[in-house]
Structures are given as structure tokens and as C-alpha cells.
Amino acid sequence: MEQSAHAGQVSSHWLTPLVKYRIFLILAVNLGFFSLAYISSYLLRFDFLLPEEYYGVMLRTLPLVVLLQGLLFYYYDLFQGLWRFVSFEDLVNIVEATVLSQIFLANVNYFTQSWLGRIPLSIYFLDCLILIGLVGGSRMAVRYGRQRWLSPGRVPRPKSTIVVGPVQVAEPLVREMLRHPEALQPLALLDPLGESPGCRIHDILIIKGLQNAVALARRHGVQEFLVAWPEAPEEELTRLMTAAHAQGIKVKVVPSLPEVLAGKTRRIDIRDLDLLDLLHRPPVQVESDRIAGILRDRSILVSGGAGSIGSEISRQAAAFGPRTLILLDRAENSLLELEMALRRRFPDLKVVALVGSVNDREGVLHLCQEHRPEIIFHAAAYKHVPLMERAPLEAVYNNILGTRNLLQAALAAGAEKFVLISTDKAVNPTNIMGVSKAIAERYVQSINGVHPTRVVITRFGNVLGSAGSVIPLFQEQLLQGGPLTITHPEIERFFMTIPEAVQLVLQAAAMGEGGDVFVLNMGRSVKIRELAEKLILLAGKTPGKDIQMVYTGLRPGEKLYEELFNADEKPQPTAHPMILRATRPPDPPEVWEEGLAELEALVRRRDVAGVLARFQTLVPTYTPFEGGRA
């Protein structure tokens, strides 16, 4: 290995001086090819016994041939390309330039044959063939030779892989792999649609059926499957991963061609299969122009700006060109990191990062008076169910009274729109966190129409990868060798990635006319047990054998199934297919002003029993956890 690498370095070293004069060298070599091909065509035509008269014709017309072919090769940029990267397109250009040169030569000779002499017709044909062979063959030889002898990484043989995907989708990847076979060599193409089994594409066999693919992989020692199927159903990917794992085969994916062209990835990066691939969801489409209409050149405030949702709102909102982006959070380290990241990415954006809390009524009032935010995203909240079961007073203080403080400050400052980030746990709540968000929802909705500020509520379920969520917990447990702890074998949750949840929050904010409760379509719910099994398989382990799963029982306030709508809400479609509107008649604002004032008084007295009793009267559908509080 070291000797080969050294040889490659030495070979490259003596070529270094030639790089400086590469264009002149290529020009000289090609001019030599033009001359050699033309002379060889005469010699072949006359069996190497060239008559005197044609010897003169050859010499007199040779400069003309070299000139015409040189001009056409220059026109087709054939003096510029790197020979070691010669492609099919380059060979086509060589053929076109050569054929056109013969056509031009024949026309020029027709008018000049009286003094240059007539070129035999067979010479055009022979010269064309010889020149294409010399120019094209030499470039292919350089490419092969460089890959064979001069590449420092030539010792390891490329790994064989089976490409998985419909023929129309996977063909560009197969073609690219064959053009650059240094790392991966396609052995076969597994077409999940089974449209052309037994046929070949670029001389690569198309096969049908996962078992056939596994058997072929086993016979040829294939180490990985390469998925080129962006729209692959979750079930298909799970079957593929399970079958591959049983044979010790890795599963990797490549981005779709539109992603590459759109700049979402810089090149055709091959990456490991991950959980998002197995929880396949259609990509979120939003109306960027409509979102820009409410964000561009506006002053935007994001409370909880350094949290999982708040930071993503900040990043996505910044891309729409607001005038000012105000970030409010009490986590100073996370806030500083976000501020620095935003300043690097958006150097022209005015970013105001403020350490503070929505619980500070005077503080948020002063903030809104000073900065006059026009659009407010209220993402600051306590969200961890078990912790809030042990701290109901803090849940009231932060999730309910903090919402009131910020909304009242927004109204006083004349904000245009106030967007509350809520949760599906606010529907028929069974825990403190959920009921606190339900009260916040109803209070905010009651204010709409009383003031010019329009309020919008967005409600969605679990987000993948947020702090304290189940996925990071499982990943940490996997690193420790297990077991993975699950509260109940039948527990289900809705899942959405943080970026797509925020995209829909921005879309809902743009759509909201005031008083709207928008519910994000989370797709189908997922059993946590199945989620754990897939993560174990992704880690290359076998569920129940290498990594155990342990059921610990439902935690305080935890439901088996989450819901998206209350009984008194009517789900209605909106113009966006992934956003539904929950309609219900708002309560009079004085009802909720009085209720929040009572809760505030109970919190000040540290009256937990009184707070819980008031929850029940404010939200009759609240059903406290039967096991009590720890």
C-alpha cells in the first residue's frame, strides 16, 4: 500500500513541470495527430506506395487540414479538457469536430483543387476514422492509465453494491457510478416496481425481488445496498433494512437528483440510512411568497428563541429578510451560540439577543415598547410532562401567566400578529403541561377581535430530535448497550421533524386572519415500540437479542394515544393540505382574565390544591393522572 502510494507520488512529481505548459503540450500533440492521421490515410489508401502526384497533393493540403481541424477542435473546446476525465460527451464532440472538418475540407478543396490538387474521396473517410481513433483513443488511454497506475488510492478495489430504486430514478446514479468507479461498483439494480427484470441498463442487470437481491449479494460478497429512491415507502425500507441486517449488509442512501440540483446537498453524498428515512413523510411544501409577505422587512420577536422550536423559527424567519430579529430566552449559553450563528449566516440582519423571561411582566412590556415587534412567535414554555406533574405552580407561572404577560405587552405595543406555539397535549389534557397549554390557547383566542393584534395558535405533536425527546434518549441508551426503556408496548405518538414543523408554523402564521387554531397534519401516529426496534436495527443490532427493550409503565400524566382536536372543535380543511383549522366559538375575554387572575393569586399563595381545582373548572375535559403526583 505504502509502496504504491509512493510510486504514485513519484510519478506525479516528474509530471509536475509539464502542468505549467499543459495547454501548449495538448496543442502540439493534437497538431501532431492531425498530421499523422492525414499522412496515414494516404499511406493506407495507396498501400504505402504513394504516387508522385498524390505525394504533392498531400504536402500542399496538409497545412489546410491542420488549420481546419485545429479551428474546429478549438470551437468544441477540445484543447481545454483534462484527458483523465474524458467523458462520452467529449467523445461525441471529437466525432462532430472531425466529421465537420472533413466536410469543410471537401468544400474548400472543391474550389482550390486547380492549384492544390484534388483530394481522393477515400482520404476523407480514412482520415476521419484514424483521427477519431488517435484523439479519442489517446484520451481514453490516459484516463485508464491514470486510474490504473497514477491514482494514489488505486490499491483498494471498488466495493460492489446493489442499487435499489425504480429504473427511471436510479439510472442517473448508476451512470455516474460507472463513470467514476473508484469507490463503488454497481453489481445489479433492484427495481422495487419489478418492471424490467432480466433486462440490463448500462450493462448492469436489473433484478426483481428482495430475496433475489439478498441471494445475489451473498454470492458476490456485496457489503452494502445503495438506496436511490427518495419516495420509498416506510414499509419497503424497513423490509430492506431487516433483510440486509440479517446478512450483515449495510444500507445507505443517496439524495434525490432534485435535491442536488436545488443545492440542498453539494454533491451526491452517500450516507447511512437513518430514522427519518424509515418514518418517511412527504416533503413539506409552503408558500414562500406568502410567508415572506408577513416577515420581510418586519421586526420579529421569538420568545424561547434559543430552544429547539424557537431557534429553528429564528433561523427560518431570518432567511426571509426581516428588518430586526429579537431573540428572548433565559438560557444564556444557547442564546449566545444562536446569535453568533445567525450573525455569521445573515451578516446584514440586525439580531437583538436578550436574556430574559416571559415571567417578567415589566421586562417584556419594556422590551415590546422599546423594539416594537410587529410579528411575535411565542415558543417559550415548559414542555416536559413528568417534570410539570411535580411543579404545577411553575407550569402556571411560565406557560399561562408568561403567555398573558407577552400577549398583553404585544397588545400595548400594537403588534400586528401574535403566534402561540401549542401542543397536541392541550387536547383533552391528562397532565399539568397539557392543561396549562389548553388554558393558554383559550385565553389567547378570547383576546382576538378585542384588539387590532391578530392572534394565531398552532398545535402539533412531538418533534424528532428536540431536547429531552424520545429519540435522543434511545440513542444514548443504545450507546450504553441498552436496554431501551419504553413506558408501554402500545403507546403511540405523532412525529414531525423540527424544520418541517416550523415550516408549517410559518405557513399557518401567514394564513391566519385572527382567532385561528391551526393543527398541523402529523401523518399517522407511530408506536414507540416500533420506533425503538428500528433504531436498534439501524445500529446494526438485533432487537430482543443484542439490545433489550424494557417496559416501565406509563408516567404520571402520560396518555397512550395523543389527540389533535377537542370534542367542541370542528376540524376544517384549509388551502394547505398539511394544515387543518379547528373552529370553536371563543369565550368572552373577561372569563379568562378573571380565571388567570385567580390562578395568579393561588400561585402566590403556593396553593397547589386550589390550582388543580381551578384547572378542572377552567378546562372541564381535564382528567388528572390517576396515580397522583410524586
Do 531 and 392 fall within a single domain?
yes
d(CA 174, CA 201) in angstroms, rounded, equals 8
In a domain, 164, yes or no: yes
Single residue among 118, 150, 182 that ends a domain in this structure: 150
Q: Are residues 326 and 252 in the same domain?
A: no
Instruction: Please indicate, yes or no, if residue 278 is contained in any of the structural domains.
Output: no
- Does a structural domain hold residue 580? yes
The distance from CA 227 to its chain's CA centroid, rounded to whole angstroms, is: 15
Residues 369 and 237 in one domain: no
Statement to judge: residues 102 and 62 lie in one domain: yes
Q: Is 495 domain-assigned?
A: yes
Catalytically annotated residue among 425, 437, 534, 559: 425
Per-residue model confidence (pLDDT) at position 273: 61
Sort strands 495-497 and 417-423 into parallel, antiparallel or unpaired: unpaired
Residues 134 and 223 occupy one common structural domain:
no
Last residue of a domain, one of 99, 132, 150: 150
In whole angstroms, give the CA distance from residue 519 to residue 527: 21
Position 629 in a domain: no
Cα within 13 Å of Cα(109), Cβ side:
22
User: Does 452 share its domain with 309?
Assistant: yes
In a domain, 282, yes or no: no
Whether the CB-CB separation of 227 and 256 falls below 8 Å is answered with no
d(CA 380, CA 331): 11
Domain co-membership, 164 together with 129: no
Active site includes 425? yes
What residues make up the domain containing 44?
2-150
625 in any annotated domain: no
- DSSP sequence for 382-443: ---HHHHHT-HHHHIIIIIHHHHHHHHHHHHHT-SEEEEEEEGGGSS--SHHHHHHHHHHHH
Number of compact structural domains in the chain: 3
What gap in Å lies between CA 51 and CA 180, rounded to an integer?
49
Residues 136 and 173 in one domain: no
Segments of the chain scoring below 70 in pLDDT: 1-23, 80-88, 143-158, 181-183, 255-283, 465-468, 523, 625-630
State the DSSP code for 515: S
Which burial class, exposed, middle or buried, applies to 503 when counting CB atoms under 10 A from its CB (0-12, 13-18, 19+)?
buried
Read off the pLDDT of residues 60-90 as tens digits, 9 standing for 90 and up: 999 999 999 999 988 887 776 555 555 667 7
Identify the domain boundary among 250, 273, 296: 273
Residue 614 counted as domain residue: yes
- DSSP alpha helix (H) spans, 448-525: 470-479, 498-511
Residues 122 and 196 in one domain: no
* CATH code of the domain in which 226 resides: 3.40.50.720
Prediction pTM value = 0.64
269 and 347 share a domain?
A: no
Same domain, 125 and 188: no
* Segments of 446-563 assigned E as strands: 454-460, 462-464, 484-486, 492-493, 495-497, 516-520, 526-527, 549-551
Distance CA 504, CA 423 (A): 14
- Same domain for 564 and 481: yes
CA-CA-CA-CA torsion sign (352, 354, 359, 361): negative
